[in-house]
A and B are shown apart, each in its own frame.
Chain A
Amino acid sequence: MRDGALKWGLRLLGIALAFGPLLIALGAHNWDIKAAVLPSDAEIKEIGDSVKGIFGGGFSENTFSIGSPTIVGNTVRVSVSFTSPFNIPIKIENVSASVSDQGVEIAQVQLANEVEVPAMATVNFTLVGTYTGGLPTNPQLSGADITFEFYGVTVQVHMSGGQGGS
């Protein structure tokens, strides 16, 4: 008798612990399964807004300001000004670009060292490459790849087009 009562008591305890949370959660959310299981719309919106806030407006025409390539001897230099649209610090790991003259690629330039960019800050850096041809008449940047890192995630962006970036 008492053993049976204990047996059933323990079974009911197990059932209460298994189904209790389900009933409480559903009851607290007016028996709406979606509301009980998933975060509320307000919470999802808050997360979405926060993530958008981290990434700011993303890349735009004002993100990069690229100077004209200058050639001294056999070294090509391109000065770049980068205005971070991100609300978090990022690290520019690499930038490589092609320098063209009259539509023909004449050199490759790239970032010498990684650049740390604080949140929403503007940094200046120089891309350097080697050039061994004759004196170009109108050197221009014809395309670039930028690799940056945030939160341990590496993003490589390919930008096509002429001088002025983006």
Chain B
Amino acid sequence: MKFSDLGLPPINWFGMVAGVLVLVLPFLGPWWVGRAGTGAMEIALSPFDMNMSLFGLPIQSSMVSLFLLAAKIAFVIAGIFMILASLFPKQWWSKRLFGFGVMKPFSNVIFFMVPLVIGALLANTLLPSLLSSMLGGTTGLQINAIILPIVLIVVFIVSVYALYTLFSRLLSKISRETEKSQLKGNILLTSIFIAMLVLGAVTYPSIPTPPAQVNLRLPYVVGTATSTIQVQNAATIAAPIAFSLTWVFWLAVATGILGIIARIYNRSLAPPEKLMLKPTKKR
């Protein structure tokens, strides 16, 4: 039974809920929190906010703040567009407005995770040797510390390309011609996400602890670890490090999934005009 059978105008309810969530997501707080010690260093991140503090002192960048403000504005606009498009799915402007914001949560989740994973990877492999060299250690810059991140990044790019090609071939068989161009971005994002997860899961246990004076062992996105800095033979500094994803991140993931469902459902409410013309073309 459809809503239209009840005398109600067709509404994309999935889109409505996703739109409201997109509208409120920028105001719910950080998606990820990183702490060193208890207040020695704190980082709270989301695509809309970045709060960093060192011993309680805030650190800010004007350009980053402006980008985050723009992301916040983009999400508010996208949320309003999605709600309007979901309320009036048969209007000529509905598809365009819906398309403006529907993939934003999903893409933001992925582009939020990528720097976190790459940052942890570089911090675990390259940074200890660099810091050890700066502290005057005898270890110096390990060649493995340079090669390993490069190898991993190359493997990551190749994996993304392979997954992208695979998904493109699979989806080309099941998707409609007009949707292929729209799906390309989503396929790429999904490929990045899967490659990132697999690479992180495979490499994390196998990354050797560098024999350096600085032993950084950062968790990948979530977890706890202890990093140590040995200052010659005079002092050893150890800081517990804890990374965690907040409930807002998981709400963003749910919003992303809901957005994809809403997009699929929106097609059933307002089929694209090109699809209706296509059979006549074949005749």
Contact = CB atoms under 8 A, between A and B. Distances in A.
B117 interface: no
29 contacts: A2-B92, A3-B92, A7-B96, A14-B74, A17-B70, A18-B70, A20-B70, A21-B69, A22-B63, A22-B66, A25-B62, A26-B63, A29-B62, A36-B62, A36-B63, A39-B60, A43-B59, A43-B60, A50-B55, A51-B55, A54-B55, A150-B40, A151-B38, A151-B39, A152-B37, A152-B39, A152-B239, A156-B238, A158-B234
A154 B238 contact: yes
B54 A47 contact: yes
Residue of A2, A7, A26 most packed against chain B (CB within 10 A)? A7
Interface in B45-76: 54-55, 57, 59-64, 66-67, 69-71, 73-74
Contacts of A157: 234-235
Contacts of B54: 47, 51
A13 interface: yes
A72 interface: no
A42 interface: no
The 6 A-B pairs at the shortest CB distance, nearest first, are namely A152-B37, A152-B38, A21-B66, A25-B63, A151-B40, A153-B37
Given A3-B96, A152-B39, A39 B77 contact: no
B93 A6 contact: yes
Interface of B: 36-40, 54-55, 57, 59-64, 66-67, 69-71, 73-74, 77, 92-93, 96-97, 99-100, 233-240
B234 A153 contact: no
A21 B67 contact: yes
Contacts of B38: 151-152
Interface in A21-56: 21-22, 24-26, 28-29, 36-39, 43, 46-47, 50-51, 54
Given A47-B59, A51-B54, A152-B39, 18 more contacts: A2-B92, A3-B92, A3-B93, A10-B96, A10-B97, A17-B73, A21-B66, A22-B67, A36-B63, A37-B61, A50-B57, A51-B55, A51-B57, A152-B38, A153-B36, A153-B40, A154-B237, A156-B235
A88 B55 CA distance: 10
A155 interface: yes
